[in-house]
Amino acid sequence: MSGGPTVRRQCQFVPETALSEDECKEAISLMKHSADEDIVKNKMKLTFDYRRNMILDPQQSCNILFEFPRFKDVKGLVEQDFVLMFGEGVSGSFWRSGRPHTRKRSSKNAGSFHPPGRRKPGKVSASQAEKHLVVFKKSGTSIQEHLDAITTSSQPYLLAVGARKNAVHQFFIVLDKNAIPCRSTSCLGAFDELFKAHFVFGTSYNPMLRNMYTFIQTTVYNIDVGKVKESPRVAEVRVRLLH
């Protein structure tokens, strides 16, 4: 089976005119120095195919945030790329008002999937999942110090900044020792952006959370259903929720 955030796929976006490599490099250079966010978003759209090829190239993917640093200061670019990949309909799946029960019940069930690699059947508790999903820092803490202290490569996670855990005012997606600001200031909104970042940057799921992410991917976003390996528990819950 072949599916998930790391595979090459046919994207929804088809540019009216394809830029040459030189034109892409010119647009990338302009974006790095432009103070106009509308120009940045437009140039990001025009260089989407160029960026996708970089992300899917193992030799170049590690340089993506160096070539496209505006991910780190212009909010909404992760969402824009995800929309270009899958379309507005898929992108808005998490917030679709027609299925609020799915979102509530999925959050209840998401932590109950057996993590891979465990010898005995068990469950990933909400607290265990949270440790891999969110790191909290008090307001005033240096974000750069947190990034500098990272010594091992890890899958994307959320950095929540606020006065208290229940009073977060800013979320960041931490990826390769870089902090990408979330547009949303809510936990659900930030998680939506974190999920999408896996596809936008072509990075695999945290092994401890793979079943949970696969469940969200196939059940909420309806991406690659039948193309990804699902545990029996994931398949069972997905069928139960959708019928």
pTM confidence score: 0.85
Question: Exposed, middle or buried, 112 (CB in 10 Å: 0-12/13-18/19+)?
Answer: middle
pLDDT tens digit sequence for 43-86: 999 999 999 999 999 999 999 999 999 999 999 999 999 999 99
Name residue 158's amino acid. L
**Got the DSSP string for 147-179?**
HHT--S----EEEEEESSTTSEEEEEEEETTEE
For the chain, how big is the Rg over CA atoms in Å? Answer: 18
Cβ(114)–Cβ(211) below 8 Å: yes
pLDDT tens digit sequence for 78-110: 999 999 999 999 999 887 744 444 445 444 444
Alpha helix stretches (DSSP H) within the chain? 21-33, 37-46, 48-55, 64-67, 77-86, 88-91, 100-109, 126-133, 143-148, 187-200, 210-215, 232-242
Cβ(50)–Cβ(19) below 8 Å: yes
20 vs 26: CA distance, rounded Å = 10
185 vs 170: CA distance, rounded Å = 6
- The mean pLDDT value for 175-193 works out to 94
CA distance to 11, 17, 48, 68, per residue, from 14 (Å): 8, 9, 10, 20
* pLDDT above 90 coverage of the chain, percent: 63
Neighbours of 53 (CB within 10 A): 13
Cβ(242)–Cβ(18) below 8 Å: no
pLDDT tens digit sequence for 21-31: 999 999 999 99
Cβ(112)–Cβ(125) below 8 Å: no
CA distance to 24, 33, 51, 74, per residue, from 36 (Å): 18, 9, 20, 10
- The mean pLDDT value for 187-202 works out to 96
Cβ(205)–Cβ(155) below 8 Å: yes
Query: Looking at the chain, how many residues does it have?
Result: 243
* pLDDT above 70 coverage of the chain, percent: 85
